[in-house]
Structure 1
Amino acid sequence: MTSINMQQCFVRNEQLKHYPKVSIASIPSRLLLMISSTSNIYGKCLFGLIMFLPNLYYFYYFLHTSLDAIFSGKLKNFLRFLHGNWIFIVYYFRYNHELVKQINDHWNALQIDFDYETRKYFWTRKAIYRRLTNALYIFLIIFRYGYEFYIWNDRHGIMFYFLLLIWTPIGFVKHFCESCILLDLLTLAETAVRFNLIQLKKLLKKSTKDGKSLNTNAIENIRHKYLSSCRLVEKIDEIISPHLLLMFVDSLISACDLCYNLLYTEQSQVHKCYQIIFNSVILITILVSTVLGIKIHEKSQQSLAIVYKLSLKTNSMRLLSEILLFLNQSEIGFTLGGVFMLTTSSLSTLFSILTTIVFALPTFAK
């Protein structure tokens, strides 16, 4: 089954660009799988070492902080400890070889890897997101180290060099791998849902020209692929859902801390600009990831809308019963911590609530 673009290239005797089979395998994925919960003893030891080294900073702080300071409510470092570890821990337990195998099985069940446009869409989007991710983290690294060297002086202790040489590089590598995997999984889900939408649009176009072109086998085949796409997204949601939830919690903590510092503490203008830019970049990253997740839900809604239009173009009871089964399928989309599905309306409501919290909490903490 060749696509229209492939046929046009054959007519013009042009050489098609080769796109490999769709796969989420990558260097970041292999790195996290190597230290996942299903890895061997060496991988588990490496995970323990990665957890131990960066957190020496927090252990040092807790050992040199009095109980009065801890219980007085100044737990900023404890929140930073959670911020730097909980997404990584979630990936350790959930993103493992078993989950990746199940995702690959659901993708293979779709049987759409033969389609040239599907491969082209996946790898094109993946390349774009990877370049943007690389550019983003290169900017953050240069920005972070540029700021650290700007405030550097001879009076800095050993913890400063520890943060500069160990804590920061490990943190950037962890977040980079997590971001790459997140975008790869979102792209895979979007590719699957997009294929169903394109097939339904073609079917609707044919039925507009000739009502007899509708047949039960075509609707049944697309319905099965839609159901397989739903199962694929549900499996991917096992890692996407907690990741997005913790990203929102991280952004809320960072935004509250930033708002409090800007309003009620005396800091240099350079440090304030650094905090604003750094938190703004993180917020943009969260928004991009969330919008990609919402697009998957919107495409599934478009598919159901086209199926409903198809139901108006036939009088066949057998075909109508097949369409009814299609319309009874559940919505496709990602959830935020398994609480609610990410949609445009839920996202706007969530940001309204978060904005209220960000501006309200520093006032109570004054």
Structure 2
Amino acid sequence: MPSINMQQRFVRNEQLKHYPKVSIDSIQSKFQLMISSNSHIYGKCLFVLIMFLFNLYYFRELLYFSLDAIFSFTFESFIRLLYGNGIDMVFYFRYNHKLMKTIDDHWNGLQIDFDYETRKYFWTHKAKCRRLINVVSIFYLIITCFYPISLYNTQQRIKLVQHIIYYFCLLVCFPLYQYKRFCHCCIYVDLILLAQTAVQFNLIKLQKLLNETRKDEKSLNINVIENARNKYLLSCRLIDKMNDIMSPCLFFIFTNFAVNAGHLFYNLLYTKEDEAGKLITNFQLSCSLTLVLLYTHLSLKIHEKSLESLATVYKLSLKTNSIRLLNEISLFLNHNEIGFTFGGMFMLTTSSLSTLFSIIVTIVFALPTFAR
């Protein structure tokens, strides 16, 4: 049945914009699947080569490792080593063809891809998020990789041969590293938006049903409630499966951000660094913060929409006296809330997130004082 917005467009004789089927099968996803644990032998060899280049970049910085200060540059490099290898291992073992097939099966089971508003919601939000990720990634790459090279004068360029490993890491390893992180960002957003779209569809249907019952209470029947409850249950299963990859990744992302923020705070207070260096460090942290806020905002909307769905179902219970309907609604209300978890420890909600950020802020401001 066409939506109200579609009918209004037909009345105004406006041409509907074509949106393709909802899919997370992007180039970035295909690249990650190509080097996953259940890929062919060439993909696994490529993954080993990529990890070797990444660790070459990490260990180049660890040559200057020192235990003199907690938040020294080398300690940050050590944390980056743990973060980079950890998150790559998570993607290698968990983001594979089996996971994608399960997600596709759950999504197809919802049978909502035919809906025009569903496709529009997914692709419009994906386009906005992808533009933001592209801008942040490009600026981060330029500032971090190419800006330091432009600072070298002619006399320093003579020393390029002596620092061939450094420049190989800077011009080859780091762009490859940045592209892989870009792929991760796109995959995060695709998964979150897919989950958000599923919950959004169910919420819209429930709200329409509530509006119809206000006009005619007979429009509320058990088949409609059963269908809505089944779709909500499938959405729960879809997001639970996504949690296999999202939960550990969110833990790594927030931990890495806390360490980088602490490193920046320590440098601003206790080290004498040139203004250009501070500016670059601030810009890098701002890029990281932008992406963290993007993931957080999108993840929280999933939980908020699930709460709205349950609240709407509760309002529907006030519109009927039928025992069968009330029993079906009670089964609906017994479902758990939907959302991503933080390392499997707790669900990301507004309250838990405020507590998490309070802990991060405490760590950022407190730990550097012990390194004086």
Q: Which residue matches 1:4? A: 4
User: C-alpha displacement at 1:84, in angstroms?
Assistant: 2.6
Distance 1:140 1:71 in 2: 29
2:334 to 324, 328, 332: 328
Distance 2:117 2:331 in 1: 28
Write out per-residue CA displacement over residues 297-328 of structure 1, whole angstroms, 9 at most, x where no aligned residue: 00000000011111111111111001000000
2:171 to 155, 165, 174: 165
What SS does the corresponding residue of 1:303 show, helix, strand or coil?
A: helix
Q: How does 1:10-159 map to 2 (within 5 A)?
A: 10-60=10-60, 69=66, 75-153=75-153, 154=156, 155=159, 157-159=163-165
Distance change in 2, residues 1:281/1:60 (3 Å): closer
> Match of 1:177, as an amino acid?
C
Deviates more, 1:329-338 or 1:152-161: 152-161
The answer to whether residue 269 in structure 2 is matched with residue 263 in structure 1 is yes
CA RMSD of aligned residues (A): 1.8
User: 2:145, 2:171 within 8 Å by CA — same for their partners in 1?
Assistant: no
Distance 2:247 2:357 in 1: 17
User: C-alpha displacement at 1:255, in angstroms?
Assistant: 1.1
User: 1:33, 1:39 within 8 Å by CA — same for their partners in 2?
Assistant: yes
What SS does the corresponding residue of 2:152 show, helix, strand or coil?
A: coil
1:306 to 307, 312, 316: 312
What SS does the corresponding residue of 1:42 show, helix, strand or coil?
A: helix
User: 1:84, 1:171 within 8 Å by CA — same for their partners in 2?
Assistant: no
Q: How does 1:152-231 map to 2 (within 5 A)?
A: 152-153=152-153, 154=156, 155=159, 157-231=163-237
User: 1:107, 1:232 within 8 Å by CA — same for their partners in 2?
Assistant: yes
What SS does the corresponding residue of 1:227 show, helix, strand or coil?
A: helix
Distance 2:76 2:301 in 1: 35
User: C-alpha displacement at 1:224, in angstroms?
Assistant: 0.5
Q: Which residue matches 1:365? A: 371
> Match of 2:290, as an amino acid?
I
Deviates more, 1:203-212 or 1:80-89: 80-89
Write out per-residue CA displacement over residues 310-362 of structure 1, whole angstroms, 9 at most, x where no aligned residue: 11111111110010000001111110001000011111111111101111111
User: 1:254, 1:279 within 8 Å by CA — same for their partners in 2?
Assistant: yes
Distance 2:333 2:204 in 1: 17
TM-score (norm 1): 0.94
Q: Which residue matches 2:353? A: 347
Distance change in 2, residues 1:61/1:138 (3 Å): closer
User: C-alpha displacement at 1:237, in angstroms?
Assistant: 1.2
Distance change in 2, residues 1:58/1:306 (3 Å): closer
Equivalent residue pairs, number: 363
Distance 1:19 1:234 in 2: 27
> Match of 2:337, as an amino acid?
E
Distance 2:104 2:348 in 1: 24
